[in-house]
Amino acid sequence: MTRPSRVRIDLDALRRNYASAKALHGGRVLAVLKADAYGHGAVACARALADGADGFAVAFMEEALELRRAGIAEPILALEGAFDANDLEAAAQHRIWLVVHQERQLAMAEHAGGPSGLTVWLKADSGMGRAGFPLAELGGAYRRLAASGRVDGIVLMTHFARADEPDARATADQVAAFDRACAGLDAPRSLANSAGILQWPSARHAWGRAGILLYGADPMPAGAPKAASLRPVMTLESEVFAVRSLPAGAPVGYGGGFVTRRPTRAGLVAIGYADGYPRVAPAGTPVAVDGRRAALIGRVSMDMLTVDLTDLPEAGIGSRVELWGRQVDVNAMAVAAGTIAYELLCNVKRVPRVYEEAGKAAAPAA
């Protein structure tokens, strides 16, 4: 008998979210597939988007080459850039675009060998304080690349530190500072990440980079205006496989930290922290059982967790339990667990992925 835990990936929702991002941004948009498409499966997601996407972005060369080996021909940007000369050679051979964000990478790009030139996304630090050339050095770095004879195209880029804070001035300041630094440089610009696409019209330049919004998780805080209609792509689910009747005052799970306050029907669910469900999720964390609201009780174990079925008399063995998806917002789940949706989605493991499309039968991951 097969363990009932699985993660369902709605490829139609993925395409719809990308189309919404592109329509809102107005220019070209890269679909960000780093970290195995935020836990959704990079190859499957790239294939689903290949007919409509302007290109893809990944973290590093190994992720880019995985897509090329799978037959993905669209542009692919490696966001961390080249780590060594082998990366540079592979980028030229496989037509991988590279971010250049530091002097060592700039020098390597200037002297790159091989039969074809590189496409470089030259990154400036406009206030993130992480990677990128100081704004005062952006013009000089651009002119060095343009004069090198080894670069076929340059895009100027920066990254936002606080675009998910709609009331903060930091993003507007970054946009203004970056645009001033780019004045007189003949190259397209890329500023907007997911939050930038959704919230900051001034950041919608030639290229956007759609990450978390692609997967239907809104990067903006609760209560912020919804600038696009996002649909969850991932549904993490399992089933109740045992039910116990507990008296009031009974401890549940490791440590006995949760104690029932009333006679309780407790449903044991076949999923745990080894599957990526966060161990730190507290009692009261929302779940959906057969489409109805319920809550976690007791501590999450490695392979299972417990939910309260007391108010759901029809639920029992075989009842479907959604941990997050269309009924349980992954952002709300993340708040309950003291983390962010990015981490939850990226951490899913061990459970099989099932890909779904309208008019097609569910298919397991290849």
pLDDT tens, the chain, 366 aa long: 589 999 999 999 999 999 999 999 998 999 999 999 999 999 999 999 999 999 999 999 999 999 999 999 999 999 999 999 999 999 999 999 999 999 999 999 988 876 668 999 999 999 999 999 999 999 999 999 999 989 999 999 999 999 999 889 999 999 999 999 999 999 999 999 999 999 999 999 999 999 999 999 989 876 666 545 899 999 999 999 999 999 999 999 999 999 999 999 999 999 999 999 999 999 999 999 999 999 999 999 999 999 999 999 999 999 999 999 999 999 999 999 999 999 999 999 999 999 999 867 566 665
Q: Dig out the tokens for 163 from the structure.
A: 């675009």
Picking from 285, 304, 363, 366, the residue whose alpha carbon sits closest to that of residue 10 is 363
204 in Cβ contact with 188 (< 8 Å)? no
Spatial distance between the Cα atoms of 27 and 218, rounded to a whole number of angstroms:
20
Please give the model's pTM, rounded to 2 decimal places. 0.94
Mark whether 254 is an active-site residue. yes
**pLDDT at position 107:** 95
Q: Which of 22, 34, 38, 273 is catalytic?
A: 34
Q: Are 194 and 182 in contact (CB under 8 A)?
A: no
Closest CA to 96 of 52, 63, 70, 124: 63
Considering 22, 38, 123, 254, which one is annotated as catalytic?
Answer: 254
Best CA proximity match to 323, nearest among 251, 312, 341: 341
